[in-house]
Amino acid sequence: MAEAIQRDQIQDEPAFPAKWSLVRQFAVTGGLIMLVAMLIAGHLSSRIVTDTTIENTAAASALLVGNLIAPVVQNLDIQDSLSDVAIYELDQMTGQGAFAERFPHVEIWKEGGLVVYSRSPELIGRTFDPPEGLVQALRGEVSAAYTDLEAGEHVARLFTDSFLEIYVPIRRSGSGEIIAVAEIHEVTGPLDKRLWTVQSQSWLSVVTATALVMCGLIGVIYRASRVIDRQQTDLRRQIVEIERVSAMNRQLKDKAQRAASRVAELTESNLRRIGADLHDGPAQLVGYSSLMVEHVRRARSTSQREEHLGNIEVALNDALQEIRTISKGLLSPEIEHLALDEIVERVVRIYQQRTNAGVRVEVGEIGGELTPAAKLCVFRFVQEGLNNAYRHARPDGHLVRFSNCAGVLKVAVHDRGTPRGADVPQVPGLGLTGLRERVESLGGTLRLDRSPEGGIMLEMTLSTIGGGV
């Protein structure tokens, strides 16, 4: 199972380093794709503009040459050679001035590869393999291509420089029939400059368009990445908050379960204590009274009967008093309509009447109302705290400090410690355990620690915000 999970993790590993942002990943992948696309587009556009430029140059040159040469070679429709006069006119026409500088070599071909005129006289009358341009021109197409230095006519002249070869169909006047083909060799210098210019413009336009598209896409991805990062941050924050709330819910659930368990234990303990009190007190007295009834029946004189009846009356009165005392301890005090300071004052007064011990009370800022459950919790807390202080520390000099400020209720009971010093109990008793469960059931906390007064401090804290207390 572990190996399968590990394989899945390896297969799910991202193609990019984990620290790379979305913008950087897009810049790398998109940049590579756009670079390839730019090179392809630039190459294609460069080829297109190059071919277009060459075709335009060839068309212009063909028009010029056709208009000059065609009238001189019209007799080629009936013969395969030119007269000396025609050759002289062609030499004068093509061998001087700007025409000769631009077109240093001129040939006139007949079908089959026969050269009938050339600026190189050694080629006149010779037959060579028909070049591809000648074949296309005989079909009526103007063609242009760079010089093939391996062609027979160029090898014969020992050509080493490359020219732009333009093949121009020469037509018979009036009928349009192709009677010959003129081949001119144009110097490539001006053409190369034009080609470099148009290719540079083509590449510049492609690069500019690619850069603009890439910048626009990166801008969009950057904004999207910021939105995604912000959403991821919010999601992480929400996940952390959910985990925190979930942990709090688990803690509260555990506390509630523990409190329910402790309540069951305390209830069972209280029932056993009440049963023991009833058994040891009123039940014994009632049983004693039941036995005395038999003595009343067997009394031999009125004085004995009255004596036994008096004993029965005393026993029943004592049983009734004890039952009332036990019942009174089970009832909640009437404190629903009392304020916080009045509740503390009542508990302290009852404690002082019972023990004759001195208690100091310090009242802090008091504000806000408490629920009946919180009031009863305060009553039991102070009662249990003073009782513990009386049993385990010096019998007097205790301090009760309380306040209800800014939505937080705090009540603390301090004792003066024992003559041997004050030690915080490691294991709280049953009363403190029940008190802790009572406080925690209201969402509060109970703390047992050393007191600045020199003894032990028992403190409870409740939140009064939101109506929970």
Half-sphere exposure of 95 (CA within 13 A, CB side): 12
What the block records as the tokens of 48 is: 């297109």
Buried b (16+ CB within 10 A) or exposed e, 246-285: eeeeeeeeeeeeebeebeeebeeeeeeeeeebbeebbeeb
Of the ranges 85-94, 193-202, 378-387, the best mean pLDDT one = 378-387
Mean pLDDT estimate for the chain: 78
DSSP 8-state code for residue 129? P
**Architecture in CATH for domain 340-467:** 2-Layer Sandwich (3.30)
pLDDT number for residue 410: 92
**Residue 311 predicted with pLDDT over 60:** yes
- Rounded Cα distance between 279 and 204, Å, is 109
Mean pLDDT of 109-127: 82
168 and 142 Cβ atoms separated by less than 8 Å: yes
Model pLDDT, residue 123 = 82
What's the pLDDT score for residue 402?
Answer: 92
Q: What is the pLDDT of residue 191?
A: 66
Which of the 8 DSSP states describes residue 301?
S
Residue keyed to tokens 């009967």: 305
pTM of the shown model: 0.40
Dihedral class, residue 411 (left if φ above 0, else alpha if ψ from -120 to 50, else beta): beta
Q: How confident is the model at residue 6 (pLDDT cuts 50, 70, 90)?
A: very low
- 149 by DSSP, 3-state: which? coil
Looking at domain 70-186, which of 3.30.450.20, 3.40.50.1820, 3.40.50.2300, 3.90.1200.10 is its CATH number? 3.30.450.20
Contacts of 146 (CB under 8 A, 6+ apart): 162, 163, 164, 165, 188
State which of 6-20, 236-250, 294-308 shows the largest mean pLDDT. 236-250
The pLDDT of residue 459:
92
Mean pLDDT score, 307-326: 79
Q: Which residues contact 273 (CB under 8 A, 6 or more apart)?
A: none
Contacts of 313-322 with C-beta under 8 Å, sequence gap 24+, read 315/285, 315/286, 315/288, 315/289, 316/285, 316/286, 316/289, 318/285, 319/281, 319/282, 319/285, 319/286, 319/289, 320/282, 322/277, 322/281, 322/282, 322/285
Largest CA distance in the chain: 191
Q: Looking at the predicted structure, is the pLDDT value of residue 10 above 60?
A: no
User: Which two tokens mark 148?
Assistant: 């093939």
Angle at 255 between CA 251 and CA 259, to 5 degrees: 175
pLDDT tens for residues 450-460? 877 678 889 99
Listed by start position, the domains of the chain span: 70-186, 281-330, 340-467
**pLDDT above 50 for 218:** yes
Tens digit of each residue's pLDDT (9 = 90 or more) over 136-181: 888 888 777 777 777 767 776 776 676 778 888 888 877 778 888 8
Paired tokens of 117: 């005129």
- Alpha helix ranges (H) inside 12-82: 22-69
Torsion angle (degrees, nearest 10) of CA 317, 322, 324, 329:
170
